[in-house]
Amino acid sequence: MALQDIVDFIMPLRGKRLAAVTHSRPDGDAAGSVWGLCGILRAIGVGADAVNLAPIPESLRFLRIPELDRIHPEPDWPDQYDALAVLDCGEWPRLDPVNQVAADKLPAMTIDHHATSAGVGGAIWIDPAASSAGEMVVRLARVAGWTIPRGAAQALWAAIVTDTGRFSYENTSVAALEAAKECVRRGADPATAAAQLYQSIGRGELVLRRRVMERIEFLRDGRLATSWLSRDDFREAGIDAGVAQGLGDILRSVEGVEAALFLYEMTGAAGEAPARVKVSVRTRTPHDATALTARFGGGGHLRAAGCALDPPLDAARKKAVAAATELWFPEPRP
Ligand SMILES: [Mn+2]
C-alpha cells in the first residue's frame, strides 16, 4: 500500500534530515502541505525543512513557521540532507530546477493528488481522489499515529480550504471534511485562516482583479470566457505573477460560463524560461480541464488545470481558445 510505503520511508529518518519541496510558485495546498508535513516530522524527531518555498503570496505568510524554512540555500544543499519529500507537484517540469537537482541525489518520496503525477523516488503515494496534498498528510499522520502540532494543523487546514475552494468544489469529500475536522481538533483556527486567506486583499491585487474583469470576453454564447494580464500589469501592481493563479477564478463564476481561460505572462523567476504565457483553465461539469492542458504539456485537475504556451500573449490566447472551442464547444448552440 502506497501510504504505508511513505510511513516506511519516513520511520528510519528519525535523527536524520529531510528536505520537503513542492512546485514552483507555491499555492495554499503546496505550501500548507509542506509546512504541515515538516511540522509533524519535526515532532517525531526527523530534521525536516521546507526548502525553497518561495515566492510565498502575502495571504499565506501567516502560516509560515520560520524555523522550518530554508529559502535559497547554498547550491550544495542536497548534500546536507538524507532524503527528499516532493508534495503536490503534479508534473516533473513544475518542480523548480534547483529542486530537481535534489531528486537526482537523494532517496525521494512523493505525496500528490494530481492524477497527472508520475511521482519521484522509491516511495510514491498518489491519490487523485484526495482533495489536496494537505488532506493526504493528515491521513498519513493518522495512520502512522503521529501527532499534528498546532502550527502544522493550521497549515494543513489552509491547504484543504484552498484546494477545495472553501469546501465548495466537487472534491469536498467525507475524507476531506474529516481531515479538516482533525486539523481543527489539533488547534487550527478557521476564522484567522479565512481572514488571512480571503479578507485581506492588497491594493495591487485589487488593481489586477479589476483589469481581469475589464478584459473579460465571452465567446460561444457566453459559455466560454477569457481574460488576461500582461507582465506590465504585474509590474505596475508590484505583484509577482505567482499570485495570479486565483485571479481568473471570477471568470468561471459568471452565470452560463462553462469554461474559462485566464492567460498571464510569467515574469520569469529564477531558473524559469522567461516570458512564457501561463494558461489557467477552469471548467464546470462535464468539461475536463486537463483535456486542454494535456495538449500543451500541462496538467492539473478535472475542473482546474494549467499549462504554458509560447509568447506572444495574443497568439497564445488564440491557440487556447481554438483548443477549448474544438474540445467543448464545437458547434454554436442552435
Ligand atoms: Mn494541491
- Residues with Cβ–ion distance below 5 A, ligand 1: 29, 88, 132, 163
Beta bridge mates, 21: 86
Domains in the chain: ranges and CATH: 2-198 (3.90.1640.10), 203-328 (3.10.310.30)
Backbone angles phi, psi at 23, to 5 degrees: -70, 160
Backbone angles phi, psi at 176, to 5 degrees: -65, -45
Report CA(221)–ligand 1 centroid distance (Å).
Answer: 32
Tell me if residue 47 falls in helix, strand or coil: strand
The span from the CA of 107 to the CA of 95, in Å, is: 16
pLDDT of 69? 93
Report CA(163)–ligand 1 centroid distance (Å).
Answer: 6
Per-residue pLDDT tens listing for the chain (334 residues): 699 999 999 999 999 999 999 998 899 999 999 999 999 999 999 999 999 998 888 889 999 988 999 988 898 999 999 999 999 998 888 888 889 999 999 999 999 999 888 899 999 999 999 999 999 999 999 999 999 999 999 999 999 999 999 999 889 999 999 999 999 999 999 999 999 998 877 888 889 999 999 999 999 999 999 999 999 999 899 887 777 777 888 999 999 999 999 999 986 554 444 578 999 999 999 999 999 999 999 988 889 999 999 999 999 999 999 999 999 999 765 5
Report CA(232)–ligand 1 centroid distance (Å).
Answer: 29
What cell numbers appear for 168 in the block?
A: 465548495
Report CA(310)–ligand 1 centroid distance (Å).
Answer: 25
Q: Which of 47, 88, 39 is nearest to 65 (CA)?
A: 39
Report CA(306)–ligand 1 centroid distance (Å).
Answer: 12
Residue 312: asked if its preceding bond is cis (omega within 30°), the reply is: yes
The span from the CA of 155 to the CA of 161, in Å, is: 10
- At residue 244's C-alpha, the angle toward residues 60 and 84, to 5°, is 55
The span from the CA of 137 to the CA of 156, in Å, is: 8
Q: Give the per-residue SS3 of 104-119.
A: HHCCEEEEECCCCCCC
Q: Which of 192, 195, 188, 190 is nearest to 153 (CA)?
A: 188
pLDDT of 271? 45
Report CA(133)–ligand 1 centroid distance (Å).
Answer: 5
What is the DSSP track for 215-266? T-EEETTTTEEEEEE-HHHHHHHT--GGGGGGTTHHHHTSTT--EEEEEEE-
pLDDT of 193? 97
pLDDT of 54? 87
Report CA(144)–ligand 1 centroid distance (Å).
Answer: 22
Report CA(331)–ligand 1 centroid distance (Å).
Answer: 34
CB 190 within 8 A of CB 184: yes
Report CA(28)–ligand 1 centroid distance (Å).
Answer: 8
Whose cell is 544543499? That residue is 77
The span from the CA of 18 to the CA of 7, in Å, is: 14
